[in-house]
Amino acid sequence: MVKNSLISILKQKEKEENSGSVEFQVFIFTSKIRKLTSHLELHKRDFLSQRGLRIILGKRQRLLTYLSKKKKTRYTKLMDQLDIREPKIR
């Protein structure tokens, strides 16, 4: 189900030809994160991949905070579509 929604989002964004939008960037980062986490389940001691995962997570988090401050409705819609949890507030 999640995979189908991701594919539909990707096709919609390709039609708009707006690959620089925040939603599209978050989608790309989310797909990279899922790929890296599945890789790290097999290779637990791959520290360079762990570092890359942390970098991508930080970039996605910054984009999501930007989107939540600017457009709250787009933020909540994106969080529901990509099945991402809300960040912990410190």
E strand or H helix at 75: helix 72-82
What is the chain's mean pLDDT, rounded? 87
Taking only the tens place, the pLDDT of each residue in 59-78 is: 999 999 999 999 999 999 99
pTM: 0.79
Residue entry with tokens 């599945």: 38
pLDDT at residue number 6? 65
* Token pair for 66: 């930007």
Quickly name the fold that domain 2-9+21-82 has.
Helix Hairpins (1.10.287)
- Residue 17 CA from chain centroid, whole number: 19
No. of helices (H) and no. of strands (E), the chain: 4, 0
**DSSP conformational letter for 18:** -
Domain ranges of the chain: 2-9+21-82
Whether the pLDDT of residue 4 is over 70: the answer is: no
pLDDT (mean) for 10-29: 77
Give the confidence band of 51 by pLDDT, cuts at 50, 70, 90: very high
- Asked if residues 30 and 36 have their Cβ atoms less than 8 Å apart, the reply is no
